A and B are shown apart, each in its own frame.
Chain A
Amino acid sequence: MTARNKYNFAFLDEGSKREIRRAILKAIAIPGCQIPFGSRELPIGRGWGTGGIQITLSIIGPDDVLKVIDQGSDDSVNAVSIKKFVNTCTGAKLTTDSEEATIIQTRHRIPEEKLREGQTLVLQVPNPEPLRFVERSLINARKLHADMDYSAAWLALYEQITLYDKITLGADYPVMTDGRYVMAPSPIPRYDTMALDDADCLYLFGAGREKMIYAVPPHTSVKPLDFEDYPFAVEYVKGRRCRVCGAEGVFFDEIFDSGTGERYFQCSDSGFCKKNADRANGERGVSVAADSEG
């Protein structure tokens, strides 16, 4: 590939990257508030993580170590494609190890291993507007945020309880950030939501198509919207066990064996799973790649 010689470092021109960094700084200063930015077109499709990629391209330096995951997996087609693109135009080192990475770009998962101070998790966001499910119009939604008028969102949750005796929101469960802004945490499972609260790392959210950036700085309060008698609940993971590494109590992919019709579980976080399996196998003196089952 000769792309690095033909294009600027990190693809975008310096002026564009600076603009995006300004939006990021503003987002960090007002946790959970959506900051509009002049989203650029990338060689990767809108809706395929271009918001996250633009953040990554704007903050990455030659010494950074990058990990990219898609729904938990390091090897998913789009994670591979994004990784390759960023590496081609920056030369930054790649890893699958959450602890080694300085920047982790992710679609719809937060790694199982707790992230530390100095690490940045860049989340790809399809729909940055948490009020979209109650208010179609962007103009009206902006007014509701300004007035901190979240009654419609609360009412929608209450309606679900009257219909199903349960809050039926799945991934992308709306949260209150810093006691001020209702925020879409991106379609992470509910299981991951609590990792946003009082974290040591920095979370940056990029919506390329909708042209918004927002952030959860370290040690910010992030609380899911719920009721005292109907508390926020994560997905059911109890009693499940990863068939590759044996992990329990983590978020799983559900897999059907087409031969036997059997259903089993495997860690959704592939980097964590591999490490865990290597450790277990190391103790037993065998080395088997975690994904050799695939």
Chain B
Amino acid sequence: MAYVAVKGGEAAIAASIELLTLSRSGGAGRVEPDTLTARMRQLLDRVMCESGLYAPEYAALALKQSEGSPEEAVFLMRAYRSTLPRSHTSRVIDCRDMRLARRISSAFKDIPSGQMLGASFDYTHRLLDFGLADEREEELASARTRIIAGADQTAAEPDMRAGRVSDLLKAEGIIKPSPPDDAEPDDITRDKLILPASRSARLQTLFRADTGFVCGVAYAGLRGYGFSAHPTIGELRAGYVEVEIPYPSDGNESIVLGEIMFTEVEAFVSSHTSSRDEEFDELGAEIGYGLAFGKAETKAIAMSILDCALNHPGDAPPNDEEFVLLHGEGLEMSGFISHLKLPHYVTFQSKLDNVRATRRGGNHKEKETGNDGAE
């Protein structure tokens, strides 16, 4: 008889693992991690962001190993991350110092230092480009040369940096500046997330959360589940920031480790503060904050919506901290869902025992001692 109680599984498991190699070996093309790093950058960005590990080369390797499954690649990256000791903590990164690649505002037409569209799919028509099927590498290279040459003549500030739009509203008193907080942030990778969560733990959790989950719950909020203010994107910026660590022997000096790319969003929603002294409540604005590795605009915006929503606790999913923070963790959701594939013989047997006992009728004492209802 086949497959009883999954005994003797070892040989079958070994064969299953071997089939994976067969599965990713089809076709003639080689997948070079370098190609993925250069040409599949947004896929890498997603994997790195959900992994909480900025390592493009490893993300590319993980994608190669996982046949391009982001879910599986994130899993590989996270597991690798667990083996690494924490040797340094970076200095605080201020995205005002970002070397900008893109910066837009939906709140003001004219913002200091201006808007900058950068590279974006937003303004394209999503027409499948059949020409790419036999695109020649030389064509692409010459287009690249031409675009770079053209840009050199028109670019006003090649290394553009800019203050935040929200700084203006803070100066005007419309947005209350949050008091400076130099407390050590929580670290959800080292400690269990304790609820109610600190803002640092909330933002870290949303940063690493599954993109689809964050966007879906934020969308539910926008459509009116719970706190449903329509936010205005005060500013969305993407670009490169330097990561610095304190110099080991002299804490005043810093070493620059390198640059990483972020997308940062500040969403404005109107707020009101009820005041006892004044006759009327005061209207103002508050900020929802979103941040993601690389180019991840929808996720960063969705995160800013949820950050706002969680400031207004309520029963609707987007306002329910436990709902939002505990169910978007990619490894946890995929792990627990997939564990249903494991045998549940013992637990099901225990459940069945109850079902059979309640069906037998009679009082509970007879049920416990009666026959087992096999008939």
Contact = CB atoms under 8 A, between A and B. Distances in A.
A105 interface: no
B191 A294 contact: no
Nearest to A236: B372
B1 to A, nearest CB: 6
A107 B356 CA distance: 24
Contacts of A287: none
B153 interface: no
Interface stretch (B7-15, B219-227, B235-243, B261-269): B7-15
A149 interface: no
A70 interface: yes
Interface in B51-93: 75-76, 78-79, 81-86
A2 to B, nearest CB: 14
A249 B345 CA distance: 18
Given A36-B191, A70-B342, A75-B10, A45 B334 contact: yes
A75 B9 contact: yes
Interface string B338-353: 1100111111011111
Contact of A47 (B1, B85, B336, B364): B336
A126 B337 CA distance: 11
Contacts of B82: 11-13, 16, 40-42
A142 to B, nearest CB: 8
B285 interface: no
Interface string B181-203: 00000010111111110000000
A166 interface: yes
A11 B83 CA distance: 6
Contact of B322 (A48, A109, A126, A139): A139
Interface string A37-66: 111111101111010000000000000000
B32 to A, nearest CB: 23
Nearest to B351: A170
B259 interface: no
A36 B186 CA distance: 14
B13 A77 contact: yes
A170 B81 CA distance: 38
Interface stretch (A114-122, A214-222, A250-258): A250-258
A193 to B, nearest CB: 11
Nearest to B81: A41
- Interface size for chain A: under 10, 10 to 19, 20 to 34, or 35 or more residues? 35 or more
Contacts of B335: 45-48, 50, 209
Contacts of A268: 345-346, 349
- Interface size for chain B: under 10, 10 to 19, 20 to 34, or 35 or more residues? 35 or more
Interface string B353-373: 110111000011001100110
A137 interface: yes
- Tell me what chain B mostly uses at the interface: helix, strand, loop, or mixed: helix
Contacts of A39: 192
B162 interface: no
B1 A209 contact: no
Nearest to A235: B353
B336 A189 contact: no
B6 A253 contact: no
B350 A46 contact: no
A257 B1 contact: yes
Question: Which of A78, A137, A236 counts the most chain B CB atoms within 10 A?
Answer: A236
A80 B338 contact: no
B85 A13 contact: yes
A97 to B, nearest CB: 17
B351 A137 contact: no
A62 B233 CA distance: 56
A41 B7 CA distance: 28
A75 B195 contact: no
A235 B343 CA distance: 19
A46 B79 CA distance: 11
Contacts of B195: 138-139
B83 A78 contact: no
Contacts of B83: 7-8, 11-13
Interface in A16-52: 16, 19, 36-43, 45-48, 50
Nearest to B356: A236
Nearest to A75: B7
Contact of A189 (B189, B342, B349): B349
Contacts of B347: 71, 108, 170-172, 187, 189
B8 A294 contact: yes
B156 interface: no
B127 interface: no
B4 interface: yes
Contacts of A107: 342
A70 B343 contact: yes
B9 A235 contact: no
Contacts of A13: 82-85
B191 A41 contact: no
Nearest to B370: A236
Given A8-B83, A235-B349, A239-B371, 18 more contacts: A14-B85, A46-B332, A46-B335, A47-B336, A71-B344, A73-B6, A75-B8, A77-B343, A107-B342, A108-B346, A126-B339, A139-B195, A166-B354, A189-B347, A191-B350, A253-B5, A258-B1, A294-B8
13 contacts: A11-B83, A13-B82, A16-B82, A36-B192, A38-B187, A38-B191, A48-B338, A73-B6, A76-B5, A81-B13, A166-B354, A235-B350, A263-B374
Interface of A: 7-8, 11-16, 19, 36-43, 45-48, 50, 70-73, 75-78, 80-81, 107-109, 126, 136-139, 161, 164-166, 168-172, 187-191, 209, 211-212, 230, 233, 235-236, 238-240, 251-255, 257-259, 263, 266, 268, 270, 291, 293-294
